[in-house]
Every structure is written in structure tokens, then in C-alpha cells.
Amino acid sequence: MDNDTELRLGLPGSVEVKKPRETPQKRSSPDCISVEDDNLDRPSPKAQIVGWPPVRSYMKNNFYSMKNKADMAGKYVKVSMDGAPYLRKVDLKNYKEYKELREALENLFGCFSLGEILRMDGKYTMEYTIAYEDKDGDLMLLGDVPWEIFLSSCKKLRIMTDALGNKDREDSK
Amino acid sequence: MKVQSAMFYFPEEVIEHIFSFLTHHPDRNTVSTVCKAWYKIERLSRCEVFVGNCYAIRPDRAAARFPGLRSLTLKGKPHFADFDLVPPDWGGLAGPWIEAMARSCPNLEELRMKRMVVSDESLELLVHAFPNFKALVLVSCEGFSTDGLAAVARSCKSLRELDLQENEIEDRGPRWLNSFPDMCTSLVSLNFACLKGEVNLKSLERLVCRSPNLKCLRLNRAVPVETLAKIMNQCPNLEDLGTGSLLADQFSEAYVSLISALQKCKKLRSLSGFWDASPLCLLAVYPICANLTGLNLSYAPTVQGQDFINLIQHCVKLLRLWVLDSVGDKGLAVVASACKELQELRVFPSDLFAAGPATVTEEGLVAISTGCPKLNSLLYFCHSMTNSALITVSKNCPNFTRFRLCILEPRKPDPATNEPLDEGFGAVVKTCKNLRRFSISGLLTDQVFYYIGKYAKALEMLSIAFAGDTDQGMTYVLNGCKNLRKLEIRDCPFGDGALLADVTKYETMRSLWMSSCDISLRGCKALATKMPSLNVEIINEWEAEMEENLNNGVAEVISNNNNKHINNGNDERKVEKLYVYRTVGGPRTDAPDFVWTL
């Protein structure tokens, strides 16, 4: 097991599965298939063995389609608003850009503006700033980094409100 | 003398009445062997027949013996077919059975089949040949399409149960649901969760509307929340529900409707499905959790972390829980603290290749065993396990009847001590006197088999993979496990010595499976020669061209010229897959090219 310098077929890092004997007569679907993986920066997945782990093929097939859906299923992050009694959650994957996210947040939290109604027409508005907590736990202002980078680093959203008062606001975005 | 005449004085009707209290089929098998009179009475009055291996007896013979048959259960392919170890077209055909029953058993009402190949034509025959047909249960079957389902729906006058579990069904469109006639109101149980395609939602709603007796309904992923809500409003007496897709927009009408509908279902005890479950939809389920006895989240990777914890902590009466390992040790700890009545737990792997970080470990299992002492059935996939954890688990839960542990990496030792897991699994068999089913994994030597042979006296089914050192391992099991019925082995160094150690043992068992072990053709031939009551089948793809397989049974092995592959002199070739089973039906007549009966 520690013969790392031993010459053998297979990718570095792949587990060599010991079989009781060689099978020269085997032709179709070998028992042990090396997983193709040319990204040597991360450890390659272990070699696949036919029928292992013992999970029903029905479930395996479902699992693959589920996993793909899960990858697409979205990135839900908590959204808190200062003064609101409870938090909400949004799926960041529903939005392609910051503008869409801001609009969605306005819709979500429109009812919480301390008696004032937050409208898109700019009539009664609150000053608010949207910030987010990143992977390092730091509170960052929304909008500085490209959307994709924001997507991968955002852990939580926070809507911070300023003092009360009606202010006309340009629809600047 | 006096006793004997007294026995014969018993009218047949009385004996038959006494037999009617024997429902356990092994008991009925036993009484039928007492004398000819009892054999006759028993067979004519038998209503339920269980055939654990469809090749153990010819269909005609079974049908002729039990003409009054009402319920038939059949199992086909070997268990390892579930994991793609059996090539397609291996067999397990339902057709001959349905045809035989059609000829001899007109009273058939229920058919349950597992791992069999069923064609649409067979389904057509089924519903036309049996006027009283009421219940069809298909588990892990294949070979049919939604057209076959349409035939069943269309023609069964009083269909009570259509239960499709994890089958491969060819989707030919959603029209099959329309085929239930308007006057069909008898449905009690409908499960089409395994169907991949769309269903006609309006037909589904109408069907549910006119089925007042519906107790169990399991939908497939194509059924949206809107339809689920409508359906739930129609059947407040539902006891078992498999949801469709639980993706819902926040505060949509459908979601609100679902909440109120669920709250009305006071009898709901079992939940499954949960596809694409959004956390919001889980909220809707909380009010009914307190009464749940069964919960299956194994198709819901979205239910994890805090969402899972929030859900499970309400399920205080839970008896059966199936989850993915993405719930983590943390989730299992909550299960342990909330579900004190838990009897069965299954934890499935969400990452099949163990490439990511460990999700559940021995800690989760120990927590469960500590919190749920009534646990008697376990299936647990994990990245690693320790001996001390297994010892603790068996101390906490001595009532295991089914214990299956799968460590994802083959031959992995105890990470704490780097030792094999012999002692851990040994502790399980020592403590759990009622253990009937056992699957082991990780690094294991012959020692674990010594323990199994010595202590697992109630064991009926044993599954082994990548374990053992020598033939002695397998021999311990064959010699010691008196009640062994099914033994399945893959990738273990057991050879001809082990195979032939106790050949008469196989007559007391249903079947033996060995693949990627160390057995040779010579050993298999020897077994076949010594035990004519067994079918010794090998699955091989040695040559590109296959001759027609042998149909003539054991005696022809040496002299049959057709069989150049078996008899080309090289008996030392290793046999890739061996399947041995007792039978009174002789060699299979439907074996494909790659299956050779020795």
C-alpha cells in the first residue's frame, strides 16, 4: 500500500483496489474503472467498483438526477432587516444581477418599513443600505464585486435602515 | 391403533378448518409433509403461496398443487442484481408463472413480485385471466411500460391495490391514469412514485375523488404542490402519503391550501417523497409530525441541516426513518433525542464515492443507539467505523434483527486503532441473539467469520464483501449458522475448498451467490456432480461467441460435445459469478447464453 513509486496504470492518488486474481478473460465492463479526472489540483475521486457501494441502481439513478437538480436548486441565504420581527430567505440563483436582487428585497420587505410603505415609484421611501456577510464573516457593501463572485461569497444579507423620514429617491439603478 | 383410527375419524372439513389458523407458510409446508391425507387437504385449502426463488419449482407444478390459490408472492433475480452484478436478460420471467396460474388457479386475487421481468403482455393476461384480481405489487421489477399499467387500470373491475416500488418502467405517456374506468371506486392503495414521466393531473384528481377507501397514495415527482393540495382535501382519511414535488413559492395559494389540507388528515402516519422540498413546504408538515410513525426522506437531499432538525424534533412517535447521510451526525443526534420509539433506521449515502468530507460517522450511530434502545433494524452507510463504537452500539441495542453496515471504502480498518473490525462485528453477533440479517464491511479477517459461525445462530441472510483471508472464513459460516438461508459473497478470497467444505449445507439454504472470489470451474463442476438437487449456475463471458447453453442437466457435463467452453479442458479457470440454489424444477429452460448450468 505504500509503494507510491511502483509503476502502475492509474492516476496518482487513485486507490488501487486489490482483487484476488487477474482476469485476462474479462472483456466487457471491467470491474474496476478508473475515474477520468484531469484536474490534478484536487485529489481524484476513488476508483469506481462495479456494484459498490451497494445502493440500488434505481436510487443511484435518482440520486444523480437529484444531485443535478440540487446543484441548480439554489443558494438560499438569510435576509435580515433592522427592526423587522423575523428574517426571510432568498434564493440568490433566481437573480442574474444586483438590480434584480434589490427589487426582490424591496418586494419582500416592503411591509416592514415601520409603518411607511416602500414603493418602487419612489413616493414613500426609506433610506436603506444593503450589506452582506461574506465567507470571512465580514460585513460588505452590496455591489462592489462582480455578481458571480458575490454569489459564491455571500453567506447572509442584511438590510440596514437609516433614520426615519420620507425622502424622494431617484430610481438610480 | 386407537390413536390412528381416531385421526382418520376426523372429517376433512375439520382438519381444513384447523389448517385455516395456520397462516405462516413454513407451518403450512410442514403440515403438508405429515401424511398424504394432510398433504391433500392442505394443498387444496391453501390460499397464499410464497416462492422465494422462482426457479426453485416449475410454475406448472406450483399451480397444479394449489388450485385454490388466491395470493402468490414471487422473487426472481438474486439480491445482488440490485447492484448491477447480474447481467441484463438473466431471467426471472414472470410470464410462465402468470400463464401457469391462468391455466390452473382462477381464483388468483393478489400477485406480489420482486426482481422479476414482467412484460406488458403478461400484465394484459393477468387482468383478463383472473376475474377477482385485486392487488398487484411490483418491487424492483422491469420489462413493462405504462401501457401495461393502462391494461391493469382498464380491466380490473375491483382493483384495490396497485403498488409500484422502485421499478424500471418505460414511460409511454401519461394516459394510463385515464384508463381507470369511471366506475372504479375500489382503490385502497396506489403507489406510482417510481414513474419518471408526467401524469395526467386532472385524471389523478378525478380518480382520487371517486376512491373513498383510499388509504395509501404515493405520487411521483411530476405531481406539483397544487395538485397535492387538491388531492389532500379529497382524502382526509389518508394514512400513507408519498408527496410529489414539494417545490412551492412562498405564500402561494397552493402552499396555503396544502397546509390546511394536511392539518385535516388526522390519520396520516407515514410520509415519503419530499422531492425538491423547499424549507417552506417542510413548515407545512410540522403539524402532523407528532403522529408520524414512518418517514422517508431518502430522496430529499434538500432536507438537511437545520431544516431536518426542525422537522425531526417533532416526530416523537417515529418508528421508521429513512434519510440521507447529509443530515450528518448532528441530525442523527437530534433523532436520538426526539425519536425514542425508533425501530428502524436507514441512512443512505448522498455521495456515492466518498469523495467529500465525512457526513455521518460512528458518532452518529452511537448517539442513535444510546437514544433509541428499541432499534431493531439498521442500514447504515458511512465513511468509517470503529470497533469500540460497534461494541457500544450492540450493548445499547441488543434487539437487532437486521444489521447492515456499509463502510464506503472497501477494506477500511478501524481508524482509531488501524485494526480490523472483527471485534466490533463480533460484538454484534454475540449480543444480538435474534439477528436474522447481517451485512458487514470494512477490514475483516477470518476471525469475524469465526464469531458469526459461533454466535449467529438465528442468522438467515449474510452479505459479505471484500472480507476474509482464507477458505476457513467461509467454512466457519457454513458450519456454524444453522438457520442460514441466503449467503451472498463478493470479492473475497474464498476458493474451492470453502465451496466444497459442506456441500449438503446448500440443500438447506435457498441460495448461494459468489462473485469475484477464488473458485474455479473444477470446484463448481464438483459441486454440481455431488449435489443433483442443486442448480449450479455460472455466469461467464469467456468467449466472444457463445454456444447454446446446456439444458440437459448434470450428467451430461463430461460427455456433451456442444459444450466446448465448459469442457475445453481448462477447469482451472476462475469462475466470475456463481449462483447455486436448491430446486425441484431441474435446470432452467430459459437460461441465456452466458448462464451455464453445470
Structure ipTM: 0.83
Q: State which residue of chain A sits closest to B464, comparing Cα positions.
A: A54
Interface of A with B (CB under 8 A): 15, 17-21, 23, 25-28, 31, 35, 43, 45-46, 48-60, 62-63, 66-67, 69-70, 73, 76, 89
Query: Between chains, do B83 and A51 touch, taking CB under 8 Å as contact?
Result: yes
Of A48, A53, A66, the CB nearest to B349: A53
Q: Which residue is closest to B194 within chain A, CA to CA?
A: A58
Residue with the larger pLDDT of the pair A158 and B546: A158
CB contacts of A28 in chain B (<8 Å) are: 541
Min CA distance, B217 vs chain A (Å)?
A: 20
Give the phi and the psi of residue B165 in degrees, each rounded to 5: -115, 115
Residues of B in contact with A24 (CB under 8 A): none
Non-local CB neighbours of A120 within 8 Å, separated by 6+ positions: A103, A106, A171
Q: Do the Cβ atoms of A57 and B82 come within 8 Å? A: yes
Q: Are B467 and B440 in contact (CB under 8 A)?
A: yes
Please indicate whether residue A48 or residue B308 has the higher confidence score (pLDDT). B308
Dihedrals φ, ψ of A104, to 5°? -65, -40
| Closest CA–CA distance from residue A157 to any residue of chain B (Å) | 18
CA distance to partner chain A, nearest, from residue B39 (Å) = 40
Confidence category of residue B332, pLDDT binned at 50, 70, 90: very high
Nearest to B381 among A53, A66, A73 (CB): A53
Selecting from B349, B355, B381 the residue whose C-beta is nearest the C-beta of A45 gives B355
Q: What is the pLDDT of residues B562-572, one digit of tens each?
A: 355 566 667 78
* A·B CB contacts under 8 A: 94
Residues of A in contact with B85 (CB under 8 A): 50-51
Residue B506's pLDDT is 96
| Of the candidates B398, B455, B400, the residue with the CA atom closest to the CA atom of residue B423 | B455
Query: Has residue A92 got a pLDDT over 90?
Result: no
pLDDT number for residue A64 = 62
Condensed to tens digits (0 to 9), the pLDDT of residues B278-299 reads: 877 888 888 899 999 999 999 8
Q: Are A19 and B491 a contacting pair at CB < 8 A?
A: yes
Point out the least confidently predicted range of A119-128, A131-140, B3-12, B507-516.
A119-128
Do B54 and B116 meet the contact criterion of CB atoms below 8 Å apart? yes
At position A172, the amino acid (one-letter code) is S
CA A134 to chain centre: 13
Per-residue confidence (pLDDT) for residue B360, from 0 to 100: 92
pLDDT tens digits along B390-445: 999 999 999 999 999 999 999 999 999 999 999 999 999 999 999 999 999 999 99
Segment among A65-69, B195-199, B517-521 with least mean pLDDT = A65-69
As a whole number of angstroms, the distance between CA A97 and CA A109 comes to 19
Query: Which of A25, A51, A63 has the CB atom closest to B542's CB atom?
Result: A25
CB contact under 8 A, A27 and B541: yes
What pLDDT does A36 receive? 38
Are the beta carbons of A51 and B544 separated by less than 8 Å?
no
pLDDT at position B303, please? 85
- The answer on pLDDT for A70 being more than 70 is no
Q: Which residues of A touch B355 (CB under 8 A)?
A: 43, 45-46
Measure the CA–CA gap between B425 and B386, rounded to whole angstroms.
10
Strand partners, B272: B242
Residues of A within 8 A of B491 (CB-CB) are 19-20
pLDDT at position A21: 38
Q: Say how far apart CA B241 and CA B266 lie, in whole Å.
A: 12
Please give, rounded to a whole number of angstroms, the shortest distance from the CA of A106 to a CA of chain B. 15
Taking 80 as the threshold, does the pLDDT of residue A20 lie above it? no
Buried-state track B565-589, b at ≥16 Cβ within 10 A, e below 16:
bbbeeeeebbbbbbbbbbbebbbbe
Of the given ranges (A119-128, B51-60, B119-128, B442-451), which has the lowest mean pLDDT? A119-128
What residue of B is the nearest CA neighbor of A73?
Answer: B276
**Pick from A69, A90, A86: nearest CA to A78:** A90
Measured between beta carbons, which residues in chain B are less than 8 angstroms from residue A60? 352
Closest-CA residue of B relative to A52 is B83
Beta carbons within 10 angstroms of residue A100's beta carbon: 13
Q: Say if CB B394 and CB B364 are below 8 A apart.
A: no
Q: Chain B closest CA to A167's CA: distance in Å?
A: 30
Q: Please give the DSSP secondary-structure letter assigned to residue A159.
A: E
| Neighboring chain B residues of A52 at a CB cutoff of 8 Å | 83, 410, 465
Phi, psi of B150 (to 5 degrees): -60, -40
Query: Contacts of residue A73 in chain B, CB cutoff 8 Å?
Result: 276, 302
Largest CA distance in chain A: 83
- The alpha-carbon gap from B2 to the nearest alpha carbon of chain A, in Å, equals 59
Q: In chain A, which residues have their Cβ closer than 8 Å to the Cβ of B545? A: none
Report the pLDDT value the prediction gives residue B208, as an integer from 0 to 100.
Answer: 94
CB contact under 8 A, A62 and B83: no
Stronger pLDDT, B546 or B1, i.e. the higher one: B1
Position B493 scores a pLDDT of 96
Probe site for chain A from B347, B384, B490 (most A CB atoms < 10 A): B490
**DSSP letter (8 states) at residue A110:** G
Q: Which residue has the higher pLDDT, A47 or B401?
A: B401
Q: For chain A, state the CA radius of gyration.
A: 26
Q: Exposed, middle or buried by CB within 10 Å (0-12, 13-18, 19+), for B122?
A: buried
pLDDT at res. B594: 86
Q: Is A119 left (phi over 0), alpha (psi -120 to 50) or beta?
A: beta
Q: Do A45 and B493 touch (CB under 8 A)?
A: no
In terms of CA atoms, which chain B residue is nearest residue A47? Answer: B353
Question: Which one is predicted more confidently, A110 or B501?
Answer: B501
Q: What percent of chain B has pLDDT over 90?
A: 70
Contact residues, chain A, for B410 at CB < 8 Å: 17, 49, 52
Residue-averaged pLDDT of chain B: 90
Contacts of B418 in chain A (CB under 8 A): none
pLDDT band for position B41 (50/70/90)?
confident
pLDDT category at B593 given cuts 50, 70, 90 is confident
More confident site: B36 or A43 = B36
Residue B557 has pLDDT above 70, yes or no: no
More confident residue, A41 or B75: B75
Chain A residue at shortest CA distance from B520: A21
Q: Closest Cα of chain A to B510: distance in Å?
A: 21
**pTM strictly above 0.90:** no
Give residue B61's identity as a one-letter amino acid code: R
Q: For testing the chain B interface, which of A2, A14, A66 should be mutated: the one with the most B CBs within 10 Å? A: A66
**Burial (CB count within 10 angstroms: exposed 0-12, middle 13-18, buried 19+), residue B496:** buried
Q: What is the pLDDT of residue B558?
A: 34
* Contact at CB, B352 and A60, closer than 8 angstroms: yes
Burial class (CB in 10 A: 0-12, 13-18, 19+), A70: middle
**Residues B479-502: pLDDT tens digits?**
999 999 999 999 999 999 999 999
Cβ separation of B576 and A17 shorter than 8 Å?
Answer: no
Across the interface, which of A45, A53, A66 has its CB nearest the CB of B406? Answer: A53
The three grid cell numbers given for residue B209, joined into one nine-digit string: 375523488
Query: Using an 8 Å Cβ cutoff, are B177 and B146 in contact?
Result: no
Q: Which residue of A has its CA nearest to B409?
A: A53
B216-247 confidence digits (pLDDT tens): 999 999 999 999 999 999 888 999 999 999 88
Average pLDDT over residues B158-162: 93
Cβ distance A23 to B355 less than 8 Å, yes or no, reads: no
- Chain B CB contacts of A18 below 8 Å: 411
Decide if B411 and A18 are in contact by the 8 Å CB cutoff: yes
Q: Which residue of A has its CA nearest to B469?
A: A20
CB contact under 8 Å between A70 and B302, yes or no, is yes
